[in-house]
Amino acid sequence: MQNIKEIRLILGDQLNIQHSWFEEIDAKVLFVLMEIKAESEYVRHHIQKIVGIFKAMRHFADELRQKGHQVVYYHINATQNTQSFKGNLIKLIEQYHPTHLAFQEPDEYRLDQLLREVFTSFDLPFQVHSSEHFYTKRDELATFFEGKKLYLMESFYRNMRKKHQVLMESSSQPISGQWNYDKDNRKKLPKKHIPPPAHLFQHQVDDIVDAIQEMDIPSIGTIDTSSFIWCTTRKEALQLFDYFLDYLYPYFGTYQDALSEHYWSIYHSRISFALNIKLISPKEIVDRAEAYWSKHQEAVSLSQAEGFIRQILGWREYMRGIYWAKMPDYASLNFFNNQGKLPAFFWTGNTKMACMRKAIGQSLKYAYAHHIQRLMVTGNFCSIAGIHPDEVDAWYLGIYIDAFDWVELTNTRGMSQYADGGVVATKPYVSSGAYINKMSDHCANCHYNYKLKTGEKACPFNSLYWHFIQRNEAKLSSNRRMSMMYALWRKMNEDDKIALLNQADDYLEHMEEL
Ligand code: FAD
Ligand code: SF4
């Protein structure tokens, strides 16, 4: 490799082969990908997450080489790897004497700061390019809500539908006249209903796991090294999404809030990992989902299509916009001043609570839980148990294969923990055991009884819920969406209140034993 004029850095979540960078083959441009130890261990990640990212990066580098691009790849255990972006770049600059450098906008605030600092430290001009992945620019949401107190997802979403003409009848009217079908989409799985199996890949990943172990990178969760299940190439991401369209899409919306003791991904697409490392783009997903619905309306109703498209065109872009509008302060918000520590069962799944055992157990096994498990089981538990949002964030960021700061933080600290005091959610997502029983078959298998509020077998979600309501009264009672719960609490007789609070105190004191 001689006469390199430009070095371009590609991060592990920037595997977008359709990026304009790759349109032309230029022997004077050198692409660089690096597996960096510090990036793999700044929180304890699930082993499948580290393996999935490294494997996808390695495939991506091979694909670039096959197309004729110049590529340098730093394996995690390579002797020449200095284990820092700066160290490796210094060596490359010394070796190739480029005239300029470039990188794509990182999606994570910390990395954005770090790369700007590193690139500024070289005596060379550099350019920051768009990752060409999202529908929206970083500051688009902040501009849309300028001067507004509330950042309502629904108004952002409707604007996105209009702007990008998705599921629209005219430039301003949605197909069928209705914007949102959320109310139709809240069903429990019927007793004998069997969802199609999850579409799993079977990759051999011993070499990557060996390298991770050689480098002493700490991790959580388990992995089957002869049968790694996640997609790591664009081709596989497209296969996974085609499977979703043919088999899961018809019931996606109907059962998107369902919780199950027997099935771990139900009708969910499991496309988030492929999306977040940019193997596939949100526009491709939305366009394909809309086209499929349009062609197969007898199999996929509008409520399924709208329910799915809202997650990508609405929630995903909205969360990214909130992140860039509110960082860096957002990462330290703690509206309730929670100080609790996560109990050890978050790393083992050993708990008597059946719903938590399932959500945590499958997270350790697959690095995945679906939205309602994250929000209404583990997230709900953390909120009502008063766990510090730093602890909650670190766990979510580590355990899920799709967890990247911009989307994990806004979902966890914002939507789930209400630590932002109501920027993302209009009220805290907390519930007693009754909600979990309504949406699942967990309670029938549980040591606890969802109907009991006090006593040895009382469902912990019940008393902890009321404890949450009582201890946060000053902060929440003026919230109109909480007024019914505060009216109920005030009407409750004093003895019942005391019994509930004592029960909750006891559970909080013995949280490790729950
Ligand atoms: P599906 O249910 O099939 O949905 C399709 C797609 O919609 C997802 O792949 C995702 O890209 C998008 N989507 C759906 N809901 C959201 C949302 N609230 N925010 C952003 N995108 C959304 N998602 C992540 O990608 N990374 C995270 O780290 C993450 N952490 C979360 C933490 C908590 C506490 C909660 C409540 C949610 C979190 N989510 C996160 C959002 C959501 O749970 C996941 O996107 C989803 O479970 C991924 O599985 P799936 O691909 O099967 O999703
Ligand atoms: Fe979860 Fe309570 Fe139901 Fe047990 S009884 S599964 S802890 S909601």
Instruction: Give the pocket of ligand 2 (CB within 6 Å).
Output: 353-355, 433, 436-437, 442-443, 446, 448, 450, 459-461
- Cα 182 from chain centroid? 20
Question: Residues with Cβ < 8 Å from 283, sequence gap 6 or more?
Answer: 135, 164
The mean-pLDDT minimum among 6-20, 171-185, 492-506 falls in: 171-185
Is the pLDDT score of 1 beyond 70? no
Structure pTM? 0.96
Give the CATH number of domain 344-513.
1.10.579.10
Cβ contact 429:379 at 8 Å? yes
The residues near 440 (Cβ < 8 Å, ≥ 6 apart) are: 188, 258, 259, 260, 261, 355
Cα(188)–Cα(89) distance, rounded to whole angstroms? 53
Q: Which of the 8 DSSP states describes residue 450? A: T
Q: Residue written as tokens 């979990």?
A: 436
What's the CATH code, domain 6-129? 3.40.50.620
pLDDT digits 0-9 by tens, 122-133:
999 999 999 999
Contact between 322 and 331 under an 8 Å Cβ cutoff? The reply is no
Which residue in 356, 251, 227 sits closest to 300, CA to CA?
A: 251
* pLDDT reading at 41 higher than 90: no
Sheet holding 29-34, edge to edge: 70-74, 29-34, 6-10, 100-104, 126-129
| Tens of pLDDT, residues 435-455 | 999 999 999 989 999 999 999
Q: Cα(308)–Cα(313) distance, rounded to whole angstroms?
A: 9
Architecture of the domain whose range is 140-326: Alpha Horseshoe (1.25)
How far apart CA 65 and CA 89 sit, in angstroms, is 20
Mean pLDDT of the chain: 96
Q: How far apart are the CA of 272 and the centre of ligand 1, in A?
A: 6
Please give the distance, rounded to the nearest whole angstrom, from the Cα atom of residue 463 to the centre of ligand 2: 12
Cα–ligand 1 centroid distance for 153 (angstroms) = 15
DSSP string, 307-362: HHHIIIIIIIHHHHHHHHHHTTGGGG--TT---B---GGGGT---S-HHHHHHHHH
| CA dist., res. 445 & res. 357, Å (int) | 11
Residues 477-495 have a mean pLDDT of: 94
CA distances from 363 to 159, 220, 224, 311 (A): 35, 10, 14, 21
Report whether the peptide linkage leading into residue 328 is cis, meaning its omega lies within 30 degrees of zero.
yes
Residues touching ligand 1 (Cβ under 6 Å) are 268-272, 275-276, 311-312, 315-316, 319, 370-371, 374-375, 379, 396, 400, 402-403, 407-408, 411-412, 415-416
State the pLDDT at residue 360. Answer: 98
Instruction: With residue 9 as reference, give the H or E element that holds it.
Output: strand 6-10
What is the per-residue pLDDT across 211-245, written as a single tens digit (0 to 9) for each? 999 999 999 999 999 999 999 999 999 999 999 99
Residue spans in the chain of domains classed CATH 1.25.40.80: 140-326
